[in-house]
Amino acid sequence: MPRHNGIPDRWLDYNAVGKRLDGTRFVAFKVPLNQSLNSQLSPSEVFGPWELLDAVRRDRQELGLIIDLTFTTRYYRPQDLPASLLCVKIFTGGHVVPNDDTILAFKRAVRRFLRDNADNDKLIGVHCTHGLNRTGYMICRYLIDVDGMDPAEAVELFNSSRGHAIERQNYIHDLHSGRKRSNKGMSQCPLEFIKGTAGTRPRERQDKRRCDQPPHGIPEEERPTYGGFQPRESPQHGWHPRGARQHYQPARGRHPHGTFSLPRVALPPYGRGSAHPADEWVRPQYAQARGQVQRPRRPSRHYTPRWANQQSGDRWGSAGPGW
């Protein structure tokens, strides 16, 4: 049963990918999620088709086919898969032992891929929601019916490779005591293998609501303080100085996430009047570099600047016309 945010229930409790089953081409894993669902998880919990490829390549293996046993299409679609992968969808209900038609469809898909890839060692990835019960049953059923493996040996091989044991007792009982399914018609595969269409890895989107990294990628111990306050994480606005307003407004040319430049505007000459390019104010050091002469401030009736009476010898300036 899925959670309210679309992540499958107990999906985080299981390892993402197991090991290759010795002597076979099978590898089991839990269902990879599309980018929309992965955006709700922390970076360490993300598992999608590209993370699946990375995990298999770390074991120096190559994945060629994905057999999807989930009973839904909402977790990912072929356009989410890399172009190097093939996938086939076999709708398999959970909690109950699959019927003979479903088992035969699985055998046909495996046999066709092995026949088409006899010259390489590409793996067949199988998954359900957790990559455990339906996945374990189908792989073990193939090893028992087609390869002639002992049921107890097949179950033990899957459990040790997956890292988790098959949980549902009806699956285990059918593998040990149930009848072998017929392999008649296994060479015929009416199922169509669909190729992934994602050419490049999607851009990783940082979700500020679940951001686990310090601002600007600075380690926590090296993170600067803002006015004596250490930044903290807010579930609504990400990292911000403790005690500060959660909604920042640009002021005095500063911004909480960096700096920005205020546009230079043409000021009217000392109060009223139309703006003129000659009256544009710039800092003195920039004005000198640009060959401009900084215009002095005109005395007003409320203030007499010091330079207005520098020739009088008065250090602070005598009373001018504005006093």
- Residue 226's pLDDT is 52
Q: Strand (E) positions, 185-255?
A: 194-195, 231-234, 238-241, 254-255
- Residue 199's pLDDT is 82
Question: How does pLDDT run across 93-127, given as a tens digit for each residue?
Answer: 999 999 999 999 999 999 999 999 999 999 999 99
- Residue 308's pLDDT is 53
Residue 174 lies in a domain: yes
Q: Which residues contact 113 (CB under 8 A, 6 or more apart)?
A: 64, 65, 86, 124, 193
State the first-to-last Cα distance of the chain, in angstroms, to the nearest integer: 82
> Tell me, what DSSP letter sits at residue 224?
P
Helix or strand or coil: residue 124? Answer: strand
As to burial, measured by CB atoms within 10 angstroms (0-12 exposed, 13-18 middle, 19+ buried), residue 247 is: exposed
Residue 296 lies in a domain: no
- Residue 215's pLDDT is 47
Q: How many domains does the chain have?
A: 1
- Measured between alpha carbons, how far is 199 from 216 in angstroms, rounded to an integer? 29
- Measured between alpha carbons, how far is 61 from 79 in angstroms, rounded to an integer? 23
- Measured between alpha carbons, how far is 82 from 49 in angstroms, rounded to an integer? 7
Residue 109 lies in a domain: yes
Furthest CA-CA distance within the chain: 115
Q: Is the entire prediction scored with pTM above 0.85?
A: no
Spans of the chain, pLDDT less than 70: 1-4, 203-323
- Residue 76's pLDDT is 95
Residue 295 lies in a domain: no
Residue 308 lies in a domain: no
Among 89, 86, 52, 87, which residue's Cα sits nearest to residue 69?
Answer: 89
CATH code at 172?
Answer: 3.90.190.10
Question: How does pLDDT run across 54-76, given as a tens digit for each residue?
Answer: 999 999 999 999 999 999 999 99
Residue 178 phi, psi (nearest 5): -75, 165
Residue 100 lies in a domain: yes
Domain containing 143: what range? 11-195
Residue 322 lies in a domain: no
- Measured between alpha carbons, how far is 63 from 61 in angstroms, rounded to an integer? 7
Residue 236 lies in a domain: no
Q: Strand (E) positions, 212-303?
A: 231-234, 238-241, 254-255, 258-259
Residues taking part in catalysis: 128, 134
